[in-house]
Amino acid sequence: MSVYTSVTPEQLDAFFGAYDLGQVVDYAGIPDGIANSHYAVATTQGDYVLTLFEAQNGEELTPVIGLMQRLGTRNPLYPNPQADKQNRLLLNLNGKPTLVCKRLAGRSIVSPTLDQCRQIGTQLARLHLDTRDCTFPIASHHDVLSIKALFEQVENQLSAGDRELILSELQFQSEHEQQALPGGVIHGDLFRDNALFADGQISGILDFYSACSDHWLRDIAVCANDWCRDYGIFNTQKLTALLSGYETLRPLSAIEHQHCNRMLRAASLRFWLSRLVHHYSNRPAALSQPKDPFVFKDLLVQHRHAAHA
């Protein structure tokens, strides 16, 4: 989460006047993340998160908000969008589509334990099963064509060595992309800063704005590349814990196990490139924490070596 669009106290008071959520008492920008502007807002009735969408429009957000409603009304671990007095979920603030969600308890963790990796694996499987009968119209933005499009945006800024590595991996992914893997709705961005823990237990899953339809194994790989990384080194014990937690609810098929390393490589490449795109965009932010693209380059190299070990 970040802050690109500033909001004044007067604007916030007027905006929350459209809701039955009490009067604003305090608010502060949330610096994590890189895509949208987020504020923590305290009112006389509770705590909320205000999200201003910097790039997506209302039409693009409609299925995502519908997914969040579906999940939030069934499970308290998911943020439930709040409707205003006219039963609208998406309003406009400073020219940006804006959503209010109830703020969930807990904090994100920096260095997850094996048990916490197991927990996030179980919760990811639960998310996949909870949405397995859900038709979701947003196509994958993690497939090879999408990754190639990211590469084309930054190709001229890369070193010869990095270009060679990326082209080699793109060739491998193109030759081995597997369409027969099971799938459905994926979170697409279940990093550590998008999960909350309270008293050692998962208390919230955040930020569904990257959700799309894709292979479930892709979601596992995206999650594992962040949760199972210790100081830049991929921790296979944590991967085993995450997968064991996941498989308590949905055992992986034989073909999924065969493609696990490939998906870890694809996820590493995708987030290396997407972070490079953001890095070179020079997008100004009032409050933001830059994300290092090269941790994913390092992971890609590690996963490639593991494939030949």
Distance (Å, whole) CA 32 – CA 38: 9
Distance (Å, whole) CA 258 – CA 119: 23
Considering the chain, what is the average pLDDT of its residues? 94
pLDDT > 70 fraction of the chain, expressed in percent and rounded:
95
Range in 52-56, 156-160, 246-250 the model is least confident about = 52-56
- Which numeric CATH code is attached to 9-102? 3.30.200.20
**Using 50, 70 and 90 to split pLDDT, how confident is the model at 35?**
confident
Model confidence, pTM: 0.94
**How does DSSP classify residue 4?**
S
The 10s digit of each residue's pLDDT in 72-105 is 999 999 999 999 999 999 999 999 999 999 999 9
Given this model, what pLDDT does residue 288 score? 54
Kindly tell me if the per-residue pLDDT of 2 is higher than 80. Answer: no
Range in 16-25, 249-258, 286-295 the model is least confident about = 286-295
Q: What is the dihedral of CA 256, 259, 263, 265, to 10 degrees?
A: 160
CA 54 from chain centre, in angstroms, equals: 16
Kindly tell me if the per-residue pLDDT of 15 is higher than 60. Answer: yes
Distance (Å, whole) CA 292 – CA 278: 10
Amino acid at 159: S
Kindly tell me if the per-residue pLDDT of 187 is higher than 90. Answer: yes
Given this model, what pLDDT does residue 253 score? 96
Kindly tell me if the per-residue pLDDT of 285 is higher than 80. Answer: no
Q: For residue 232, count CB atoms less than 10 angstroms from its CB and return exposed for 0-12, middle for 13-18, buried for 19 or more.
A: exposed
Kindly tell me if the per-residue pLDDT of 165 is higher than 90. Answer: yes
Given this model, what pLDDT does residue 1 score? 43
**Using 50, 70 and 90 to split pLDDT, how confident is the model at 42?**
very high
Residue in the structure block whose two tokens are 């064509």: 145
**Using 50, 70 and 90 to split pLDDT, how confident is the model at 289?**
low
Long-range own/partner contacts, residues 257-263 (CB < 8 A, 24 or more apart): 259/176, 259/178, 259/181, 259/217, 260/217, 260/220, 260/221, 261/303, 261/306, 261/307, 262/172, 262/173, 262/176, 262/178, 262/307, 263/215, 263/217, 263/218, 263/220, 263/221
Given this model, what pLDDT does residue 195 score? 98
Give the pLDDT mean for 110-131: 98
Residue 297, both tokens: 């380059």
Given this model, what pLDDT does residue 287 score? 47
The 10s digit of each residue's pLDDT in 201-236 is 999 999 999 999 999 999 999 999 999 999 999 999
CATH class of 114-307: alpha beta
**Using 50, 70 and 90 to split pLDDT, how confident is the model at 66?**
very high
Domain boundaries, the chain: 9-102, 114-307
Residue 10, both tokens: 């007067």
If DSSP codes are grouped into helix, strand and coil, which group holds residue 185? strand
**Cβ(212)–Cβ(142) below 8 Å:** yes
* Buried b or exposed e, range 207-219, using 16+ CB within 10 angstroms: bbbbbbbbbbbbb
Kindly tell me if the per-residue pLDDT of 283 is higher than 70. Answer: no
